[in-house]
Amino acid sequence: MKKLLFLFLFLLLVFSARPPEPSEVEPTQKIMDALCKFYKFLEGLLPIVVIILIIFAAVIFAAGQVMGAETRSRANVWATAMLIGALIGILVALIGPWIMTEMGFPIPCQ
Protein backbone atom coordinates (compact mmCIF):
# COMPACT_ATOMS: atom_id res chain seq x y z
CA MET A 1 0.00 0.00 0.00
CA LYS A 2 2.85 2.38 0.84
CA LYS A 3 4.54 1.65 -2.46
CA LEU A 4 1.36 2.48 -4.30
CA LEU A 5 1.00 5.73 -2.36
CA PHE A 6 4.61 6.73 -3.12
CA LEU A 7 4.12 5.85 -6.78
CA PHE A 8 0.97 7.96 -6.90
CA LEU A 9 2.72 10.93 -5.26
CA PHE A 10 5.70 10.59 -7.58
CA LEU A 11 3.51 10.49 -10.68
CA LEU A 12 1.49 13.42 -9.37
CA LEU A 13 4.67 15.46 -8.98
CA VAL A 14 6.02 14.45 -12.38
CA PHE A 15 2.87 15.23 -14.31
CA SER A 16 2.00 18.39 -12.43
CA ALA A 17 5.37 19.99 -13.15
CA ARG A 18 5.40 22.56 -15.91
CA PRO A 19 8.39 23.53 -18.00
CA PRO A 20 9.86 26.91 -17.13
CA GLU A 21 8.51 29.81 -19.08
CA PRO A 22 10.92 31.70 -21.30
CA SER A 23 12.13 34.93 -19.80
CA GLU A 24 13.93 37.99 -21.05
CA VAL A 25 16.87 37.48 -18.69
CA GLU A 26 19.63 35.12 -19.76
CA PRO A 27 20.35 32.13 -17.51
CA THR A 28 23.94 33.29 -17.03
CA GLN A 29 22.69 36.65 -15.79
CA LYS A 30 20.45 34.87 -13.29
CA ILE A 31 23.46 32.94 -12.01
CA MET A 32 25.48 36.14 -11.71
CA ASP A 33 22.63 37.80 -9.79
CA ALA A 34 22.34 34.81 -7.45
CA LEU A 35 26.11 34.83 -6.82
CA CYS A 36 26.00 38.56 -6.17
CA LYS A 37 23.21 38.16 -3.60
CA PHE A 38 25.06 35.26 -1.98
CA TYR A 39 28.27 37.29 -1.82
CA LYS A 40 26.52 40.24 -0.21
CA PHE A 41 24.84 37.91 2.28
CA LEU A 42 28.15 36.34 3.28
CA GLU A 43 29.89 39.70 3.36
CA GLY A 44 27.45 40.89 5.99
CA LEU A 45 27.08 37.63 7.90
CA LEU A 46 30.62 36.26 8.22
CA PRO A 47 32.12 38.98 10.44
CA ILE A 48 29.19 38.71 12.85
CA VAL A 49 29.48 34.92 13.02
CA VAL A 50 33.24 35.15 13.58
CA ILE A 51 32.82 37.57 16.48
CA ILE A 52 30.10 35.41 18.04
CA LEU A 53 32.25 32.28 17.70
CA ILE A 54 35.22 33.97 19.37
CA ILE A 55 33.06 35.24 22.25
CA PHE A 56 31.42 31.83 22.75
CA ALA A 57 34.81 30.12 22.64
CA ALA A 58 36.11 32.42 25.37
CA VAL A 59 33.02 31.88 27.52
CA ILE A 60 33.13 28.09 27.11
CA PHE A 61 36.85 27.98 27.85
CA ALA A 62 36.41 30.09 30.99
CA ALA A 63 33.44 28.03 32.15
CA GLY A 64 35.41 24.84 31.60
CA GLN A 65 38.20 26.04 33.87
CA VAL A 66 35.77 26.17 36.78
CA MET A 67 34.51 22.60 36.23
CA GLY A 68 36.19 19.25 36.78
CA ALA A 69 38.99 17.76 34.71
CA GLU A 70 36.80 15.91 32.20
CA THR A 71 34.53 18.88 31.61
CA ARG A 72 37.57 21.15 31.33
CA SER A 73 39.04 18.99 28.59
CA ARG A 74 35.75 18.91 26.70
CA ALA A 75 35.39 22.67 27.03
CA ASN A 76 38.91 23.09 25.64
CA VAL A 77 38.00 20.96 22.63
CA TRP A 78 34.78 22.90 22.04
CA ALA A 79 36.54 26.25 22.38
CA THR A 80 39.29 25.14 20.01
CA ALA A 81 36.71 23.99 17.46
CA MET A 82 34.95 27.36 17.69
CA LEU A 83 38.22 29.23 17.20
CA ILE A 84 39.06 27.08 14.17
CA GLY A 85 35.59 27.83 12.78
CA ALA A 86 36.20 31.54 13.31
CA LEU A 87 39.58 31.24 11.57
CA ILE A 88 37.98 29.50 8.60
CA GLY A 89 35.34 32.24 8.47
CA ILE A 90 38.05 34.91 8.42
CA LEU A 91 39.89 33.08 5.63
CA VAL A 92 36.71 32.76 3.58
CA ALA A 93 35.99 36.47 4.05
CA LEU A 94 39.52 37.41 2.99
CA ILE A 95 40.16 34.92 0.19
CA GLY A 96 36.60 34.70 -1.19
CA PRO A 97 36.58 38.03 -3.05
CA TRP A 98 39.98 37.29 -4.59
CA ILE A 99 38.81 33.88 -5.84
CA MET A 100 35.60 35.35 -7.24
CA THR A 101 37.57 38.08 -9.00
CA GLU A 102 39.91 35.49 -10.52
CA MET A 103 36.88 33.56 -11.78
CA GLY A 104 35.70 36.67 -13.62
CA PHE A 105 33.02 37.73 -11.18
CA PRO A 106 33.09 41.50 -10.62
CA ILE A 107 33.61 42.54 -7.00
CA PRO A 108 31.86 44.66 -5.77
CA CYS A 109 28.75 43.61 -7.62
CA GLN A 110 25.63 45.72 -8.09
DSSP annotation string for 45-59: HHHHHHHHHHHHHHH
What is the DSSP-derived secondary structure letter of residue 17?
A: -
pLDDT at 104 over 80: no
Domain locations in the chain? 27-102
Residue bearing the bigger pLDDT, 51 or 4? 51
* Model pLDDT for residues 14-55, shown as the tens digit of each residue: 777 666 666 666 777 777 788 788 888 888 888 899 999 999
The per-residue pLDDT of the chain, averaged, comes to 84
Check: CB of residue 93 under 8 Å from CB of residue 47. yes
Burial class of residue 86, CB neighbours in 10 A (0-12, 13-18, 19+): buried
- Looking at the chain, the whole-number percentage of residues with pLDDT higher than 70 is 89
